[in-house]
Amino acid sequence: MKIITDPSFFHSYPGKFGFVPTMGALHEGHISLIHEAKRECDQVVVSIFVNPTQFAPHEDFNRYPRPIERDQEMAEAAGVDVLFLPSVESVYPLGVDAARIHIEGVSDLWEGELRPGHFDGVATVVARLLLIVCPKTTYFGQKDIQQTIIVNRMCYSLGLPGRIKVCPTVRESDGLALSSRNIYLSSKERQMAPLIYNCSEESKKMILDHRLEKASVLLEGSRMKLAQFCSLDYFELVSLDDMRPLERYEKESVLIVAARFEAVRLLDNILI
């Protein structure tokens, strides 16, 4: 496995790679994306870059986990060909505030409303990385569904290189979606956290059984159950196309959840 920090490395290989952008602290969710990339592409690039522009000043940029040696070992074991570890200066040569991409509409809902500017940082770094790596295909997790919708819209609007593939969420055996931030859950919170997924599945079943009724009413029972052990930022049925809230089930719907615990917020979603 080559370890690269200089973006100019990619000038000689345009369009060849499967690409998995990450912020590191790799887990089986990331590895599943790498495996999919390996299945479809000759060579796989993984980037590890904790992107400062997607964190607000009060957020966890400084304490975001950075176990770089372990990440290198996991990437090597997963068969990654190129591990790209760019510096902030090489991603943002004129400084982090020099240019921002804003995708209208979807960026201001849900996570975007609670974390103003977050998706502008995400869109900007993804665009920058795609222009550096010039991949054949870039792999994202359904776990961050709003991010995937924004990235798809951005790539389509701006004609960025390669195609985007969204891969299923990898979960622990009890249903908790894997996340680099799960390590911040206390043991009691860790025990309760799978309820996020279980309640989502329960709601999905109810929505599918009562298609014509108001989804918002059907979700109330799950909201109350979850609110007993965490603070819910949202638990909503939305359109998979543009994430607008839905009164009732439509063909392409997704149930999205954000739950706050003492030291961490967890995101999850299931397609309906």
176-39-9 Cα angle (round to 5):
100
Contacts of 137 (CB under 8 A, 6+ apart): 18, 19, 37, 40, 41, 162, 163, 164, 165
- Dihedral sign for Cα 211, 170, 14, 99, please: positive
Q: Which of 19, 30, 53, 135 binds ligand AMP (CB under 6 A)?
A: 30
Number of residues lying near ligand AMP (CB under 6 A): 16
Report the residue count for the chain. 272
Which residue number is nearest to ligand AMP in terms of Cβ? 141
Q: Which is nearer to ligand AMP, 22 or 215 (CB)?
A: 22
Site membership for ligand AMP, residue 133 (CB under 6 A): no
Q: Are 40 and 137 in contact (CB under 8 A)?
A: yes
Q: Are 136 and 142 in contact (CB under 8 A)?
A: no
Site membership for ligand AMP, residue 162 (CB under 6 A): no
Binding piece for ligand AMP, criterion CB under 6 A, among 34-42, 82-90, 136-144, 153-161: 136-144
Q: Are 166 and 142 in contact (CB under 8 A)?
A: yes
Q: Which is nearer to ligand AMP, 93 or 168 (CB)?
A: 168
The answer to whether 58 is a known catalytic residue is no
Site membership for ligand AMP, residue 180 (CB under 6 A): yes
Q: Which of 29, 86, 112, 162 binds ligand AMP (CB under 6 A)?
A: 29
Q: Retrieve residue 207's tokens.
A: 């929505």
DSSP 241: T
Binding piece for ligand AMP, criterion CB under 6 A, among 100-108, 135-143, 234-242, 243-251: 135-143
Chain residues that interact with ligand AMP, rule: CB under 6 A? 22-23, 29-30, 32-33, 140-141, 143-144, 169-170, 177-180
Residues annotated catalytic, as ranges: 30
